[in-house]
Amino acid sequence: MTESRFSTEPARPRAPRARGKSRDGDKRERILRAATKVFARKGFYATKVSEVAKAAGVADGTIYLYFKSKDDLLVSLFEDRIMLLLATLDRALGERPTPEERLRCVIEMQLGLLEGERDLAEVITINLRQSTRLMKQYAAPKFALYLDTIARVIADGQKAGTFRADVSPHIVARTIFGALDGITMTWALGKAEAGGLSRAATQVADVLLEGLLARR
């Protein structure tokens, strides 16, 4: 299996960090990755913090040095990954010159970054949404940032005359996310068609662009 594209390695050089902070960051990431595997295998509510600690190779109390509770661990997992997606997407969009290419970039990025992360896809699409309270109180702000990014791609395409002007950018953004979220959930549960998420990205982009392009 190829290395996950949700790697913690930076995409470009950064200033070196203090050694202690680096170790802390590595341990926090190790806990998040362990939580992803355990949540996907057992489900969020059935998982004990001690099981996450064992999977991460740390003492039970170490979890609470980084996260307030099991709820906080789940939300932090979502927030960290959505912020990584936003940062990666921001760089990638700057390299796509046309509205059509930028929209394809959004679709390819959301599905592509989860291609090698079936456990993470299952946690985000299934476990997180099992708690309405967590979604509303904690995950919603970061989720809104992501929807705003998609909406801006649509709005910019409308200003350029590429996308039809009679649709709401935010409604289109939610439509796009909903379609991709459904495909990801099906794939995470092992019921996707052959070709995986990359093949699905191309087809979804084709269908959405057909409906969005302004008719000349």
One domain for residues 188 and 99: yes
Show Cβ contacts of residue 162 under 8 Å, excluding neighbours closer than 6 positions: 98, 99, 100, 213, 214
Is 153 a member of any domain?
A: yes
The phi-psi region of residue 2 (left if phi > 0; otherwise alpha if psi is between -120 and 50; otherwise beta) is beta
Q: Verify that 189 and 206 share a domain, yes or no.
A: yes
pLDDT of residue 82: 84
Q: What is the CATH number of the domain that holds 54?
A: 1.10.10.60
User: Does any domain span residue 11?
Assistant: no
Instruction: Please check whether residues 51 and 155 belong to one and the same domain.
Output: no
Q: What is the pLDDT of residue 215?
A: 77
How many domains are contained in the chain? Answer: 2
Q: What is the CA radius of gyration of the chain?
A: 19
Instruction: Name the band, by pLDDT with cuts 50, 70 and 90, for residue 141.
Output: confident
In a domain, 6, yes or no: no
Q: Are 123 and 70 in contact (CB under 8 A)?
A: no
Kindly indicate the confidence band of residue 99, based on its pLDDT and cuts at 50, 70 and 90: very high
**155 neighbors 161 (Cβ within 8 angstroms):** no
pTM as predicted: 0.75
Cβ atoms 155, 169 nearer than 8 A: yes
The string of DSSP codes covering 77-126 is: HHHHHHHHHHHHHHHHHTT--SHHHHHHHHHHHHHHTTTT-HHHHHIIII
- Could you tell me which residues are beta bridge partners of residue 213? 163
CATH code, domain with 140? 1.10.357.10
**Tell me, what's the pLDDT at 110?**
84
Domain that holds residue 198: 70-212
Q: What DSSP line would sit under 30-47, residue for residue? A: HHHHHHHHHHHHH-TTT-
Considering the domain architecture, whether residues 90 and 151 belong to the same structural domain is answered as yes
Digit-coded pLDDT (tens) for 34-43:
999 999 899 8
Q: Please compute the mean of the pLDDT values over residues 11-23 and round it to a whole number.
A: 42
Same domain, 78 and 56: no
Task: Please report the pLDDT score of residue 195 as a whole number.
Answer: 57
pLDDT, residue 129, reads: 67
29-69 tens-digit pLDDT? 999 999 999 998 998 889 999 999 999 999 999 999 999 99
Do 142 and 54 reside in the same domain of the chain?
A: no
Q: What pLDDT score was predicted for residue 20?
A: 47
- Asked whether residue 115 carries a pLDDT value surpassing 90, the answer given is no
| Same domain, residue pair 90 and 126 | yes
Residue 76, number of CB atoms within 10 A of its CB: 19
Percent of residues, the chain, with pLDDT higher than 70: 80
